[in-house]
Structure 1
């Protein structure tokens, strides 16, 4: 032993050597655990989260009518979603066909008479249709209350717009009120007309040649009889021969004949 050095206790020497060794081993074990956990997380993420190809967004507005039917359907679907998800009444008006004219009808129907806007639970695939020069896409939408609505969206310059009048089957009176009150003032109603069996046609003792038809509303199971006279009766009879046809009509209660009278055929569909 050299001078100035104290003798080393064997137990103390053993503790110093092994305490420093255990510390290094603990650090090494922790590093291995971190590496294993990191590799496991990477593999799990790769397996569970399958990489997807980037989706090309569909533009909401284009400068021409789409040539491909699928593109037209996608654009029309986006237009319907804009209408349904619009945050305010005015923003919904901006998504309908002929908004300047239709706004007052929407105010009467939704704000005065308190009919709710339809919501979208499910929507059909969509079908592009040309009605003369009008380019449209038809959908059937199921509301959250389970009711189905036919929806027409019409092309207008750079986008599709909702045909609100056909969507709501708008009339100047609610159907239940119209059927009960029998107004003598002419009302505009969107209804279905079909032929009526001769045995069910009421006798009408009035001037002119009359014919009668079965009249129904989309939102009711009640059936009424509506009659027309002369050339208008002939025109409607041709339209509904063997069919149930959606028509926009001017109708009033004719007290003289005791029947609803079709005064004028406004449109051969529910659009004006």
Structure 2
């Protein structure tokens, strides 16, 4: 059986045959199963209604029929006729090669676009180079300016330290005059002050704070704090003149007063107008001649290194009252440093009351010299 299955397959054909007559001398092919003892009945084709001729199934002999498979042989799977691989490769890409021709104008346009892009890139590179050169020049200029500013700042600090050392080591008023602001105006004040407070030279002075200060839109002031012997601290304001010379504001350094504040409160010199450096706060104390709150504003007056308190009064609606109230508003209602001209009228019965005649300065320092006839 195995050798028969390996034999070559025979083609199965259909041949026409008469419907009614089957010749006896012609052999009838019977299909048999694997069991040779069982014979199959003859297979006949039933008549066809639509087709006039009938076909008989013509199969090979039983030896040829009983094969391994009825699938077509390998020769049926192979195409008839030799194949030309060169021709096949030559045919590749024929369809893709069939395209429309591109007008030359497109190439010109693309070339112009590429040329423009290249020109734009070169221009951008040149601009970047110019910008980089400008930045380098500016950076060098900034470095030069910073170096110059550093040298100037160092020189300024040295001058500030020098004027401070000279001031505290001076032993006479004459030695102090070249070191202070507005020397012509303050000279008599200094002579009067040091007549009661003799100069004591200090050899060791150390700067602890140095800050720039702007007053009335003028940025040429410095606030300086120095440490003196016996843990004493002295605060001063220094003005740097246009020629670079630093000058100490002497009046704020010593908190100059025309007379001792506690003595002024005790003696109450009547009829004299004196300019005091005071702290001003709003108050509600009204008595004696100033009992009418609708007529007067009341302000509490104190000063540095003093114990006594006075109450200064100004008429409601006056220019000076508006100036003082405005300064207090700017400072959030807290006590504010001012220079006020005070007067105790003759016959005044209020023991703590004084009249505020004029606002001399909105701070304890005169940025500009006060008017001589004021």
TM-score between the two structures when normalised by the length of structure 2: 0.49
CA deviation after TM superposition for structure 1 residue 263, in Å: 0.8
Q: Which has the higher contact order (CA 8 A, sep 6+)?
A: 1
Larger radius of gyration: 2
Q: What SS does the corresponding residue of 1:129 show, helix, strand or coil? A: strand
Indicate the RMSD between aligned Cα atoms, in angstroms. 3.0
* Alpha-carbon shift at residue 89 of structure 1 (Å): 2.1
Structure 1 runs of 4+ off > 6 angstroms? 65-68
Aligned match of 2:58: none
State the distance in 2 between where 1:193 and 1:114 align: 27
Pairing 1:194–2:281 present: yes
Contact 1:215-1:225 at 8 Å conserved across structures: yes
Of the three residues 289, 296, 303, the one matched with 1:210 is 296
Q: Does 1:228 align with 2:306?
A: no
- Does residue 1:108 correspond to 2:108, yes or no? no
**C-alpha deviation, 1:202, in angstroms:** 4.1
Equivalent residue, structure 1, for 2:246: 160
Structure richer in strand, relative to its length:
1
Cα distance in 1 between the residues matched to 2:323 and 2:279:
15
Picking from 161, 165, 177, the partner of 1:93 is 177
Does structure 1 conserve the Cα–Cα contact (< 8 Å) formed by 2:262 and 2:307?
A: no
Question: What secondary structure does 1:154 align onto?
Answer: strand
Indicate the SS of the match to 1:94: helix
Q: Note the C-alpha offset of 1:158.
A: 2.3
Partners of 2:232 and 2:302 in 1: CA distance: 17
Please give the secondary structure, in 2, of the residue aligned with 1:125.
strand
| 1:182–1:252 contact (8 Å) kept in structure 2 | no
Residues 250 and 143 of structure 1, relative CA distance in 2, 3 Å threshold: farther
Q: Is 1:129 paired with 2:213?
A: yes
- Tell me by how many angstroms 1:68 deviates: 6.4
Is 1:262 matched with 2:356? yes
Measure the CA separation in 1 of the matches of 2:338 and 2:201. 22
CA contact (8 A) 1:206 1:257 kept: no
Between the two proteins, the alignment pairs up a number of residues equal to 205
In structure 2, relative to structure 1, the CA distance for the partners of 1:98 and 1:215 (3 Å cut) is same
What are the within-5 Å matches in structure 2 for residues 1-272 of structure 1? Answer: 72-111=156-195, 113-114=196-197, 116=199, 123-131=207-215, 132-133=217-218, 135-144=220-229, 148-156=233-241, 157-184=243-270, 185-196=272-283, 198=284, 200-202=285-287, 204-205=290-291, 209-229=295-315, 230-241=318-329, 242-254=333-345, 255-256=347-348, 258=350, 259-272=353-366
Asked if the contact 2:171/2:199 (under 8 Å) is kept, the reply is no
Residue 82 of structure 1, CA deviation:
1.6
Contact 1:76-1:137 at 8 Å conserved across structures: no
Give the C-alpha shift of residue 161 in structure 1. Answer: 0.6
Q: What's the TM-score, normalizing by structure 1? A: 0.65
CA gap 1:66/1:97 in 2 versus in 1, 3 angstroms: farther
Q: What SS class does the counterpart of residue 357 from structure 2 fall into?
A: strand
Distance 2:282 2:238 in 1: 29
Unaligned runs of 5+ in 2: 1-148, 367-374
Structure 1 unaligned blocks of 5 or more: 1-64
More displaced, 177-186 or 125-134?
A: 125-134
